[in-house]
Chains A and B, each alone.
Chain A
Amino acid sequence: MTHRRLLYAVLVLLAWAVVLVLLVPVPVTAPLQPERIEKLDGGSFIPVLGRSQVGERGLDIRSMDVDEGALQVRPLPGVQAGDFQVLRYRFEEFPRNLELVLVFRTREHPEDVQAVTIPTVVSGTGTVDLTAIDAWRGEIVELGFAQYPGPQSVPPASAFRPFTLVEAQLWSPSWRGAWAARMQDWFGPRSWALLSLSALGPDSALPKGRSLVAPVVLGALAAVLLGVLVLGWRGQAVLPPAILAVALAWLLLDLRWLHGLHARYASTGEIYSGLPAEERQRRLPDQALYDSAQMVRRVLGGSSERNLRVFVDAGADFQRARLLYHLLPMNVAPVNMVGLGTPEQRAGAILVLYNVERLRYDAGDGMLRDATGAMPAIELFDLGPLRVYRFPGIRP
């Protein structure tokens, strides 16, 4: 019986190894260690956006650019994409709320800058499987990293902390590199996104990896089936090991999720922890829209008079919906739903536009024009993306 148990243990480990091997994106014949490593010191990267300087450990990124981003690139001496399967990168004290993006350019399409979100690592080494990136082909002539606050989820002004780009390495295909990339894909931290409320997995902008759920199921199934075949589990005897296998599989997935949940919470804490509730409520990912709403409110004399009706439109659904929310309790309506009504219906009403190109104002004749026609309006102010008008007339 001891021999059978030993055989069972070996077979289970073998089955798990087969499952994992199938999921690791590397040819079976690949070497254990990478044969070629292209080392790119942090100090060799050139800051393009943001303020940086070469420090003792690498390139110290001190601030982001006014458009809230930072970019560091360096030329490559004609690296063939196919020769390298894995990118390893090391940062120190990388801010949790910045998205990390790999940027590169190829000799074949020098005008196209490819940008791919890759997993962030606060301090330590990150690994990404380059074969999961469609554009990673041809001859790479330039490579770099960009950082910017997570869109729609992170207040831009709070996201940045100084950090250091220590180094990056390109690895030729190897088991070690492929395994590290798979582990990073499965257990690396993720950030909240609007889609997180609907689907976990697709809510990340990272290159599409392979789910951990299916291999965990296969691993548990293999353990039970091999028990039936090798150890002769029958009837009620299957139950305890099967329940144990399911429990361990569930626990593994749950610990992975808890690890991720804690990382998400830590990101939130980095921005909001220690702030009073009122301040937290004002520190928003769409700060520009919030400020715009405050500006509209000030111009209209802080009026939340219900009779003052406000049409709101924006260049994107997100901007329109958020502007509507920030303008409350004004009596607001989305233009994509109500339109602009007849001249009588909109008489005396306000029109707030944010990043709307289709409506242009001609100060000469005081008309707002779009492709379908024109309507008289009085410009209250024009601050670039934010424009506010009043429709003439008095509502009967």
Chain B
Amino acid sequence: MYPQVLLQNRKPNRIATMDEYRQSGGYQALTMALQKYSPKEVQQIVIDANLQGRGGAGFPAGLKWKAVADDFPLPRYIISNIDEYEPGTFTDRVMTHTDPHMIIEGMLIAGYAVLAEKGIIFVRPSYESSAIIFEREIRIAKEAGYLGKNILGSNFSFDMLVHRSGGRYICGEGTAQINAIQGKRPHPLQSPIRSTEKGLWDKPTVLNNMETLVNVPHIVRHGAEWFKDLAKTKTSSGTKLYCVSGKVNRPGCFELPMGIRLSEIIEEYAGGMLPGYEFKTCLPGGASTYYLQKKFYEVEMDFDSLKKAANRLGTGAIIVFDQKTCLVGATLNLIEFFVRESCGWCTPCREALPFIRDLLWRIETGEGREEFIPMLRRMSQHTWKSYCAFAPGATMPVTSLLDNFPDEVQEHISQKKCPYKA
């Protein structure tokens, strides 16, 4: 059993109360930060700890905070979301139902590090219970003096509020999320000014993934070296909440050292494959990653190792596919999802994705032709011209289907049917 940091207060069927969080050391880091460290020092600790953003890009959180320059105007904002629409991903759900005060404290310290005055938690409709939990726990934190004016007798004042979304995948994209909060149509902006300079209401705004923020109190309390030592690999640090779903015995969310091997996660923690099912592949980090080749079954699950395996850690949501599941069908399902969730604003995304869907649908239903394969590749390339990362991400399963499982596609074309259907 590896050390549990983020899920240390996990309980069956209920959240940890503020008192329980405090008993485990909660809010000590806030006190330390406000009394011992300047905002710049907090930034430096987090930079030293190499806290990579857990949302998918892996950008160091401390450097993002540093991008808010001293002379940038006030007020400044922090935004985090409980809006994980990425298929296979449910860390936010688990975390908010485990220890909401860890999220509140993480956001508070991040707010202090960039001298923000307001934190906004953006919540999707299907997580209404998380929104209700947050509204209640924010009130409790306020009564305890952790939020509001002059927190714990310092000069730092910070408030937090819940923003309910109407529900769309694209709201997870930073500039789209800012539009959404401002009550504008949530489409991403093309080549925007960095939100750390000009974000929400044109003020400096830091967007941090929720899982990134919950690490912050522990880093402040225990130091950068301790945090780095939690990971199994040199280039990564901390623990990671890995979600495992698909054909395994125990699907779930597991806190494990960053860089743990994929095989260990699946076999030891997710209980191995269901009886009668064999591992064929997985998407290692949600829908916007590549189908993993079986030769990488032992890959170390961190940002760098997956990059070396020509893949992405993404959200660390491992979707496991077995030998009986058709990958053309799975890719068609994923593309259907992306077509529906595309905001429709820019042409490459709006036009290319439905084109890809149509070609995949024909292959799956037995009308596939050889020349569709270069067409799929060309269309996938076009998506790299779109405004945001949505469409290129959408085509990752497509190109990896063609690259890593060409025989499966060929069988559909030559047999003029889906070989997985009776």
Is this pair of chains taken from one and the same complex? no
